[in-house]
Amino acid sequence: MDEAPFTFDLIATQTNARAGVFHTPHGDLETPVFAPVGTQATVKAVTPAQLAETGATLVLSNTYHLYLRPGADLVAEMGGLHEFMQWPKPMLTDSGGFQVFSLSAIRKIDAEGVTFKSHIDGSMHRFTPESSIQIQEKLGADIIMAFDECSDPYDETYNRSAVDRTHAWLERCVNAKTRNDQALFGIVQGGVFPELRRESARKVAGMDLPGHAIGGLSVGESKAEMHEMIELVNEILPTGKPRYLMGVGSPEDLINGVLRGIDIFDCVLPTRLARHQSAFTHAGRINLMNAAYAHDKRPIEEGCECYTCRTFTRAYLRHLIMAKEMLAATLISIHNIQFLVTLMKQSRQAILKGQFANFASDFLAQYKTSSKKVSS
Amino acid sequence: MDEAPFTFDLIATQTNARAGVFHTPHGDLETPVFAPVGTQATVKAVTPAQLAETGATLVLSNTYHLYLRPGADLVAEMGGLHEFMQWPKPMLTDSGGFQVFSLSAIRKIDAEGVTFKSHIDGSMHRFTPESSIQIQEKLGADIIMAFDECSDPYDETYNRSAVDRTHAWLERCVNAKTRNDQALFGIVQGGVFPELRRESARKVAGMDLPGHAIGGLSVGESKAEMHEMIELVNEILPTGKPRYLMGVGSPEDLINGVLRGIDIFDCVLPTRLARHQSAFTHAGRINLMNAAYAHDKRPIEEGCECYTCRTFTRAYLRHLIMAKEMLAATLISIHNIQFLVTLMKQSRQAILKGQFANFASDFLAQYKTSSKKVSS
């Protein structure tokens, strides 16, 4: 299998932070990079033209959702995911593993795979490492993910068995793979347990894959635990391959991830927050439904170059929210995506100039973190 | 009061069909023209950038809705409607009259005005001809409408009194008007009664206003009745002023209106249909939720130059609909608006070339009309 297109060039480093280029069949990805999530083959409320204008380069889509609706065969018949949703740049699909464990109502896990009940119509389905790869080959993303078992981060016994199963399944994923224009990333698991994480990192790193992911974080553990796990895993993962921290997307987590050697992030956060009227600024999140913004002629953030900030006042956005106009979700999504995409571009520039330590500490000093959770 | 900017140049006519230019402070409107409706200071699900890309030039917004939320004073404080919603081209506001009669729960009509209950929070409000003009002056559209009484089209006694009241209110609107950068259009009423319509047209035409509107049609009467009323009113209205058929927007009604001398149309139909998955084609409407489109690689309509048709398949649009993604409403709205805007541009070109009779009969022969009503 020729993995030649998927080389990773490390352009510059500053302590653990890295600026690189990952070569894919749909173009070069400059890292660090944030990928907005297009769960059902669309980043919610945003057209591909609007998404491209935010500067986004990589988009993630969910295998679990697309398998259930419209089905991988239909996507393949339409020319694959890039063609179906008209995103011509790099794409990534997850394996469906995380959604099976977090979304489906009933499941049976065995050595072979997972049986689950569709959250849409209650019908029964089964994923195995082989079927996950087969589905992802039909979807046709540039980066595809190994099928893994996600466990409670604090249950050591469960993590022990989940790590073993994840490694066994990774070997089956590698064997099942047939396309040479897709990069399969293995996933490091192990909860908050240093030895399990190290063992998993060594195992995954030993598979000679084009990239590596860290899964099972940002699922309830503390920030300190998350940072420790990233650090000890990245001490083991080779520097010459991209590192993807899965499902992490708050501004402070991105900066802290880059500081610890992460190259790729994805998260629903910017678009989900937007549908809850919440917008990123460098001072922290603001909720645009707040009456304080009713007469506010400023954009969401002064100096932001997104379409929303170049065009509309906070007062107008608040009006759209109060009037229940769906344009609000579109405009705030555009801003939030561009905020994270730009944050990663600025981080890259700072690394190239050897100024990332200052950039990161300035950002973290200014950004007031929010502990508020949002539901879908 | 200087009405100089609002001159209307009649460029070409073919029988009763007219191609013209109406000069406004926010640019020249080439007629015939279709105006999409931005009820709450937004054309639902579409950004101003996307709207401009459809070729739309004139946008209507609703005085009733904006008065209730966010309030005319707030819009004025934000620089007026053009600035607030960032639509730099011509705008039109209605008087609020029609919504008071169709949306509000309780009302009391007297010689002075109308008392009504907000559909949002049940609070009581009152519109008079004077207050309607005052609100529209705060909103700041280029074309503003006289406050009129809308009645059952088949109730002759009611229409008799509604026409008299509409004329009395028109005089009060003219007297209340203070801005000289807005064109006040008078409205011809009279239901389906030829003599009332003629009397109303003579009265309104005699006011020397920059434009005239025909109200109270497409509200339940037959197409033959609607056509007859347009014809007999347009025999009386002067040819040197634009004629606006209010609230009419099906493709066949637009063509039939242009054939009878109408210059301006507005309707929620293209965007409301889009939110019900229905798209215009030259063969008639299609509902994209239909299973027949699940594997259809064609755009909504071959040859259509809208963003949606240049970019996406019917199969993808159907997937968005089935997956309940709000992007579906955006993409179908873009198509439906561009369909009607383009239909009016093509009509204008045909009139300029003296080919409109053929253009209209070809269109009407091909377009299968739909009697299906859509609710909001």
- Give the integer Cα–Cα distance in Å for B356 and B13: 9
B63: enclosing H helix or E strand:
helix B63-68
Q: Is B46 on the interface with A (CB under 8 A)?
A: yes
Show the DSSP H helices in chain A as ranges. Answer: 48-53, 63-68, 72-77, 81-85, 97-102, 129-139, 156-176, 194-205, 223-234, 251-259, 269-275, 307-311, 314-322, 327-352, 356-366
pLDDT of residue A104: 72
Q: How far is CA B358 from CA A225, B226, B353, B354, in A?
A: 75, 22, 11, 9
Average of pLDDT values for A172-179? 98
pLDDT of residue A339: 98
Mean pLDDT of chain A: 95
Task: Please judge whether B320 and A42 are an interchain contact, meaning their C-beta atoms are less than 8 angstroms apart.
Answer: yes
Task: Please judge whether B316 and A78 are an interchain contact, meaning their C-beta atoms are less than 8 angstroms apart.
Answer: yes
Residue B3 has pLDDT above 70, yes or no: no
pLDDT of residue B373: 60
Q: Is B294 on the interface with A (CB under 8 A)?
A: yes
pLDDT of residue A13: 98
Interface of A with B in 2-41 (CB under 8 A): 40-41
Tens of pLDDT along B11-46?
999 999 999 999 999 999 999 999 999 999 999 999
**What are φ and ψ of residue B31, in 5° steps?**
-115, 155
Residue B1 has pLDDT above 80, yes or no: no
CB of B280 within 8 A of CB of B274? no
Residue A374 banded pLDDT, cuts 50, 70, 90: low
Residue A107 has pLDDT above 80, yes or no: no
Name the residue in chain A with its Cα closest to that of B314.
Answer: A84
Task: Please judge whether A41 and B326 are an interchain contact, meaning their C-beta atoms are less than 8 angstroms apart.
Answer: no
Residue A1 banded pLDDT, cuts 50, 70, 90: very low
**Nearest alpha-carbon partner for B74 in B140, B122, B133, B118:** B140
For A40, other C-beta atoms within 10 Å of its C-beta total 22
Task: Please judge whether B315 and A84 are an interchain contact, meaning their C-beta atoms are less than 8 angstroms apart.
Answer: yes
pLDDT of residue A3: 47
Q: Which two tokens stand for residue A220?
A: 């309830």
Which residues of A are annotated as catalytic?
94, 266
**Tally of residues, chain B:** 376
Residues whose CB falls within 8 Å of the CB of residue A202, separated by 6 or more in sequence, listed in order: A236
Give me the residue from B294, B312, B326 closest to A86, CB to CB. B312
Residue A89 has pLDDT above 80, yes or no: yes
pLDDT of residue A172: 98
Tens of pLDDT along A203-235?
999 999 999 999 999 999 999 999 999 999 999
Residue A373 banded pLDDT, cuts 50, 70, 90: low
Chain A residue numbers touching B77 (CB-CB < 8 A): 295
Q: Which among A69, A319, A335, A376 is the top mutation candidate for probing chain B, defined by the most B β-carbons within 10 Å of its own β-carbon? A: A319
Q: Tell me the torsion sign for CA atoms A301, A306, A311, A317.
A: negative
Chain B residue numbers touching A322 (CB-CB < 8 A): 69-70
Name the residue in chain B with its Cα closest to that of A73.
Answer: B295
- Give the integer Cα–Cα distance in Å for B24 and B21: 10
Task: Please judge whether A307 and B85 are an interchain contact, meaning their C-beta atoms are less than 8 angstroms apart.
Answer: no
For residues A131, A134, A136, A138, the Cα torsion angle rounded to the nearest 10 degrees is -140
pLDDT of residue B371: 61
Q: What is the pTM of this model?
A: 0.97
- At which residue do the structure tokens 């209340």 appear? B176
Q: Is A73 on the interface with B (CB under 8 A)?
A: no
Give me the residue from A42, A297, A327 closest to B78, CB to CB. A297
User: Which structural domains are found in chain A, ordered by start?
Assistant: 12-268 (3.20.20.105), 274-366 (no CATH)
Query: A–B: how many Cβ contacts below 8 A?
Result: 108
Name the residue in chain B with its Cα closest to that of A295.
Answer: B74
Tens of pLDDT along B173-199?
999 999 999 999 999 999 999 999 999
**How far away is chain A from the Cα of B46, in angstroms, using its nearest Cα?**
7
pLDDT of residue A184: 98
Q: Is A294 on the interface with B (CB under 8 A)?
A: yes
Q: Is B119 on the interface with A (CB under 8 A)?
A: no
| Percentage of chain A exceeding pLDDT 70 | 97
Task: Please judge whether A45 and B313 are an interchain contact, meaning their C-beta atoms are less than 8 angstroms apart.
Answer: no
Residue B101 banded pLDDT, cuts 50, 70, 90: confident
**Tally of residues, chain A:** 376
| Percentage of chain A exceeding pLDDT 90 | 91
Average of pLDDT values for B103-129? 90
pLDDT of residue A370: 73
